[in-house]
Structure formats: C-alpha cells, structure tokens
Structure 1
Amino acid sequence: MAEHSAIKEHMTVVGADGVHVGTVDHLDGDRIKLTKSDSPQAEDGEGARHHYLPAGLVAAVEGDTVRLSATAANAVDLFEE
C-alpha cells in the first residue's frame, strides 16, 4: 500500500489498467474525494457529484498520478457518494 500522505489535490487517479478514474479533490480520512468535474452526470439527469474511493485501493503514487490496485471499471463500481 502506498503512503497516503503523498496524495495531493489535483493529482490524476488511474486504475491498474491505466484508465482515467478521476482527479483528487482531497484526502478525506481514509477516502479519496474526487472532483465533481470528472463525475458523470447521473442517469436521472442530475448534475455531477463528488465521489469517494477507499484509500486502501491505492497501489502507488507516481509523480502526479495515483495508481489504484483495481481496474478503472472496478474502481467506479466502488464509488461512494
């Protein structure tokens, strides 16, 4: 598991497959809060929302990129609002 203190605002979050998942808004306890701008519009037509990912999914922090241990598709399935 990577050192969570290295996670900073505006870092890119990618899955283990290299696919973009989101952008860090900030670290919120043991969760990564992602910016609204990367959030898709909800099916009901409502606007974008902040999503959270468990910080335990972080495999590495490399430069300005947070790499997850899960693929992007699996990470999106784990989004919390």
Structure 2
Amino acid sequence: MADTSSIREHMEVVGADGVHLGTVDGIEGDRIKLTKKDSGQGSHRGHHHYIPASLIAEVDGDKVWLSANADVVADEFEEEKNDPT
C-alpha cells in the first residue's frame, strides 16, 4: 500500500495528466475518500468517491498526484450509494 501518512484533508487530487479529480475528505483504509462537493454529475452526484491508494504516485505540497490520467481514474472510481456522511 502507498504511504498515505502525508495526505491531509482538503488536498487536491490530480491525475498524471494534471487534471483535477477531487479534493481529499480523508483516508479510509487503503483508499482516498473524496469530498461530496467533487462528486461529479448525474448518477455520480451526492455521494463520496474513493480512489485506491495504490494509484498514488506522489504527494507534493498540497497535491496528491496519481499514476494514471484523470479519465482512467474517473472510470474506476469506487462509489458508495446511500452514503449518509
């Protein structure tokens, strides 16, 4: 598992291509939890999305860089339906 100890709430998560994917809400196990604010549109709205920590390439300043481009990561978002938080 990637080292998530330097990842903090409100950090920006970007793909390898520099495209914004979301904002860190927290770390849950081996996943980055994104804020609902960055939940997307349509069926993606209103719940948290999760990104596996295995996709973390680097933590640099206030950004979490991933090892894959944003469109690839967005297709692989883990979602929780009926997320009460």
Q: Which amino acid aligns with 2:60?
A: E
Could you list the runs of 4 or more consecutive aligned residues of structure 1 that deviate by over 3 angstroms after TM superposition? none
Q: CA deviation at 1:32?
A: 0.4
Q: Could you tell me the TM-score, scaled by structure 1's length?
A: 0.89
Q: Which amino acid aligns with 1:52?
A: Y
> Partner of 1:37 in structure 2?
37
* Number of residue pairs the alignment of both structures matches: 79
> Partner of 1:21 in structure 2?
21
Q: Could you tell me the TM-score, scaled by structure 2's length?
A: 0.85
Q: Deviations over 1:38-58 (max 9, x none)?
A: 111324xx8421000000100
Q: Which amino acid aligns with 2:47?
A: R
**Percent identity over the alignment?**
62
Q: Which amino acid aligns with 2:29?
A: G
How far apart are the structure 1 equivalents of 2:57 and 2:45?
Answer: 30
